[in-house]
Structure 1
Amino acid sequence: MHASPSSDPGPTGALPAWRLAAALGLWLAGWGALLLGGGRLDLANQALILLACGALAAVWLPVGLSIALGGLGTLLFNWRFVPPQGTFRVDGGQNLGLLLGMLLIHAEVALLLGAQRREAARARRHAREAEALRRWSERLREGDEEPLSLLPELGDQLHQACGAAVSVMAWPPGPRAPGAEPAGGDWAVAGEAGDDETRAALRHTLAEARPMGPGTGYHEGLGFWVLPLRGTRQAWGAAALRGEAVQAEAQALRLHLQALCDLWGAARQRAQAAADEQAARGREQAQGLRNALLAAVSHDHRTPLATILAAASSLETQGERMAPAQRQRLARTIVEETEQLGRLTDNTLQLARLEAPGLQLRLDWESPEEVVGAALHRLRRRWPEARVSGRTEPDLPLLHCDALLLAQLLDNLLDNALRHSPPEAPVEVLARRQEGRIVLAVRDRGPGVPAAWRDKVFEPFQRGPDGVVPAGHRSGAGLGLAVCRAIARAHGGEMRVRPRAHGGSAFECWLPVQPQPAGPEPMATNEAGGPA
């Protein structure tokens, strides 16, 4: 995609052989026609034959050579056909006008064809440059790579466009500080290593965000171009180009090279803006989560603590005067509120851990039957009277999971189901395979979740609409389902809630099925049937 200005062909030595041969063949054909049959034509028609051949030959010849051949042909025509023949003298003004007209027509045709070739070459160059800019823009816009990784490709684009030696220097990852240098001078570089003068010019251009060198109006005596990689109001890098194409007259080429550089600079600025936006969003989410956690600690922890304090104070001051049943009821209240406080604290800490970047899970192969069985065992120890049953499909594949997190997920779902269901309503936990995934579900016969809340219930600190908690049950802190969704997403899955046909809800955790581990190879046996 060489983009340097195309000019008319130069000396004959630079012409392709076929073009020179075709042009000379036309001239020879014209002279052959004149010598063989020109005696039957008048002088004007003979001149027309020579002009026609010269015009056709000018299509393939450079301007200078075409005018020279036209002038030589006119002199030979004067020698051979214009009276007095055999001399270069011209008798009569009419013949002189004919010869001058031939010279002018030869020159005009050559000049017009040369101008047309230059315009065609310029149009082709513009088309190539536009196509190069389009492809480069699409590469920067649609590629998944960070713009800094495409810096060597930018150097290749600039080199192919002008054939010059290219040195590129750009700001490293991170926001661009105006007038500052990166820590430790750790620039991102590509292309050829420049000398001290080149590196100084690159730094100056990066700071000033304006081109330098011949034809730029800024440090024109530099001897090479330095072009900024511009974004909005600042440069993200600079490119130095040394070569024959770097000259004050090649303004069109410099503008094309600057456009290539500016496309990269705009892409770099977009990438940095997206990174800044993501970082700001992360800080906002972290701040929002921190504020919400503090609100939960200050509000939701206070209720069980107050209950525990009141029950413990009653036992301390009036325990001797209480009946055994009263003391047992207060002790049971302390145990239940302490368990509630422990679950609330676990969920709060777990949500903060799961929302933190760089989370590492302790993954192992676990049986879905064991995960469901362990959840039921823990629940029955805590609530022996709860009407909870479990069911698993046979031959389920193993789960590659963090067993402690999945146990907490089922524990939260069961706690949520029992809290929002009447005491006599059954709750079921099951594991099945559906649509190529493992589904862990907890189903209840509670009031259900309104359609408008089926996405919101998994957000932190959303306790649901009024009326979903039966009388005598206390609403939770709104963290349990949020933790469930965070655990599911950490395993590459998702949480869903759907209404049941005869009332209630089914909370489902959809987990991917990973390639199963290879089983142990069968042990070799001897002839007696024992191990070999």
Structure 2
Amino acid sequence: MDTTLPAAPSSSAPHNALPLAQGRRWWPWLTWLAGWSAMLLLDGQFDLSNEAMLLMLTSVVASLWWPGWASALASTGAVLAFNWSFVPPRHTFDVDLQQHALLLLAMLVVNWIIAGLVVRLRQTADAARLVADREARLRAWSDTLRDAPDPAAHASALHTALTEATGAEVALAVLQDLNARPEDDTTLHVGQANGEQREGLALCIRDGRPMGEGTARYGDLHDWYLPLRGRGVTLGAAVLPEQGQTTDALSLRAHLQALCDQMGQALQRSLTERQARTSREQAQLQATRNALLAAISHDYRTPLATIMGASSSLHDQADKLDAAQRQRLAAGIVEEATRLSRLTDNTLQLARLDAPDVALRRDWESAEEIIGAVLGRARRRGHGARLKAWVEPGLPLLWCDTLLVSQLLDNLMDNALKYSPAEAPVEVQARLVEGHVSLSVSDRGPGIALAWREKVFDVFQRGDKTSSPEAGVEAARQGAGVGLAVCRAIARAHGGELRLSARPHGGCRFDFRLPLREPAPGAETPPPPEVTPP
């Protein structure tokens, strides 16, 4: 079924209704009463011409509220009453043609002219106020469109704006996709529209042009149908009661069409951004798939070939090999299988972290425990003598995914051990730095050229091999170029950053800075494990 929203209530008066305010409808009468009272009180103290000027002033003030015909009629009656009450001979309509006829005629004509000018001025002020109101409505409408997040919010805002502009019942049909059709079930309807009006809305959307009286299309219709036009596409339509063929009605229709066109452009922009975001996510997923395929096809071959060669030798020639040879082949299998496992973990983790809206399994963790566990695993692999660690006392708990942070430190330590001399120590530190907890791994290897300090974080980049010594070249040849990319992805998924800097006496420092967060109530810092200071 169609999505339908209720019509938004509006307390606005119709645009062409200019009634007197409730508290001002008696002001013209009070003005005439005050004027006549003043003339009667001053009768005999001023000559006839001064009293005539007082009458003209009263007529001008009263015309500020009355329409033109009422002001002209009141001015005529006032001149006749002035003739009856003040012009000699009093209490008659006889006029001395030489003395008073010109005065009365001038009073009447001047009153009519002034009343007409005042009415015209009031109409001009009303028209200017109407234009200002429409301009303010367009500005407010633009602000609403800028902040509205989805088509449904746009439709409700447009319904309110059109209702305020016309003071009549308005109905809308809004498409929710750039390729949608008006008869689709996803079409959004706002306000109440009968069957004929819904057919008219669908026709207006397909045609993309206004319909109704005065639009040169379906002029016999009793309603206006205005399209919601974007750039080269129509994304909805509005139906409004027609306002006749007056100049004000034509300007109103132009104003309403401007509101609808802004809506169409905003809808197109919103839907285009949504489509572009979906396309980016799909492209990102496709790039991740391509990266996985590239890693599997390129970097998995060497360890698999080594494992297959060593295992086939053990299987086919075990009786011809001595114990040392069998041990060497078995160690090669274990080493390549470990390397393959690490490469698989890194590649899958990179694919997971590159996916949109990834969710981390965070908890309050101790930096001491994380580093201690990573050191324990590394020392079991035979690198214990080279690893040195130092943890600043009293570090706060970390809000993080333990497995991911452990994988980050594993990768950094593996890189440091691989690219540094055999006897050089690798240092792991945890400390507070500028509102962050810094987890750093430092080595004393050949370092990384300045031009490569950002490239090494890209997938399948292995550093500047030309500047590395022979051991570094061999290590780079064995690397997959995934580990540091995974480390940066883990750091950014936690809202932190992974930085690379050169050490003063050679080597590199990789520094993972994790933002601090207030610990949960009742969370306690676990006791630190035993770590060896550098």
Give the TM-score, by structure 1 length.
0.84
* C-alpha deviation, 1:137, in angstroms: 0.9
On the 8 A contact 1:3/1:125 being kept in 2, the answer is no
Alignment of 1:307-386 (within 5 A): 307-312=306-311, 324-384=323-383
On the 8 A contact 2:226/2:257 being kept in 1, the answer is yes
Q: Deviations over 1:122-168 (max 9, x none)?
A: 11121122112112212221x26324234323322222222212323
| Aligned: 1:57 with 2:58 | no
Of 119, 124, 134, the match for 1:119: 124
Q: Secondary structure at the match of 2:432?
A: strand
Alignment RMSD (CA, Å): 3.3
Match of 2:487 in 1: 484
* Greater RCO (Cα-Cα under 8 Å, separation 6 or more): 2
Q: Percent of pairs identical after alignment?
A: 46
Of 134, 147, 159, the match for 1:155: 159
Of 127, 134, 141, the match for 1:136: 141
In 2, Cα distance between equivalents of 1:21 and 1:241: 41
Change (3 A) 1:181 1:508: farther
Change (3 A) 1:7 1:357: closer
Match of 2:398 in 1: 399
Match of 2:107 in 1: 102
Give the TM-score, by structure 2 length.
0.84
Q: Secondary structure at the match of 2:334?
A: helix
In 2, Cα distance between equivalents of 1:462 and 1:450: 13
Whichever residue aligns with residue 139 of structure 2, its letter is R
Match of 1:177 in 2: 179
* C-alpha deviation, 1:478, in angstroms: 1.4
* C-alpha deviation, 1:492, in angstroms: 3.3
* C-alpha deviation, 1:407, in angstroms: 2.1
* C-alpha deviation, 1:78, in angstroms: 4.1
Q: Secondary structure at the match of 2:444?
A: coil
In 1, Cα distance between equivalents of 2:385 and 2:523: 40
On the 8 A contact 2:35/2:54 being kept in 1, the answer is no
Match of 2:76 in 1: 71
On the 8 A contact 1:462/1:478 being kept in 2, the answer is yes
Alignment of 1:127-526 (within 5 A): 127-141=132-146, 143=147, 145-172=149-176, 175-177=177-179, 179=181, 181-182=183-184, 185-190=185-190, 192-242=191-241, 246-249=243-246, 250-312=249-311, 324-384=323-383, 387-467=386-466, 469-472=468-471, 473-475=474-476, 476-519=479-522
Whichever residue aligns with residue 500 of structure 2, its letter is V
Match of 1:36 in 2: 44
On the 8 A contact 2:378/2:384 being kept in 1, the answer is no
In 2, Cα distance between equivalents of 1:290 and 1:128: 55
Q: Secondary structure at the match of 2:470?
A: coil
On the 8 A contact 2:223/2:240 being kept in 1, the answer is yes
Change (3 A) 1:107 1:14: farther
In 2, Cα distance between equivalents of 1:9 and 1:319: 108
In 1, Cα distance between equivalents of 2:227 and 2:377: 66
In 1, Cα distance between equivalents of 2:451 and 2:140: 46
Unaligned runs of 5+ in 2: 1-10, 525-534
Q: Deviations over 1:189-222 (max 9, x none)?
A: 33x3332223223322233233333443433443
Q: Deviations over 1:405-461 (max 9, x none)?
A: 222211111111122222222111222333333332212122334444433322222
* C-alpha deviation, 1:507, in angstroms: 1.4
On the 8 A contact 2:397/2:519 being kept in 1, the answer is yes
* C-alpha deviation, 1:334, in angstroms: 2.9
Q: Secondary structure at the match of 1:126?
A: helix
Change (3 A) 1:92 1:16: closer
Whichever residue aligns with residue 247 of structure 1, its letter is G
Whichever residue aligns with residue 505 of structure 2, its letter is H
* C-alpha deviation, 1:110, in angstroms: 1.1
In 2, Cα distance between equivalents of 1:193 and 1:59: 41
Whichever residue aligns with residue 188 of structure 1, its letter is L
Match of 2:7 in 1: none
Change (3 A) 1:490 1:78: same
In 2, Cα distance between equivalents of 1:404 and 1:124: 66
Change (3 A) 1:311 1:470: farther
Change (3 A) 1:224 1:171: same
Whichever residue aligns with residue 291 of structure 1, its letter is N
On the 8 A contact 1:178/1:207 being kept in 2, the answer is no
Q: Deviations over 1:344-377 (max 9, x none)?
A: 1221122112222343433444322221111112
Whichever residue aligns with residue 362 of structure 1, its letter is R
Match of 1:16 in 2: 25
User: How many residues get paired?
Assistant: 508
Change (3 A) 1:388 1:408: same
In 1, Cα distance between equivalents of 2:365 and 2:457: 25
In 1, Cα distance between equivalents of 2:520 and 2:89: 107
Q: Deviations over 1:461-494 (max 9, x none)?
A: 2222234644233212211111112222333333
Change (3 A) 1:120 1:157: same
Change (3 A) 1:405 1:397: same
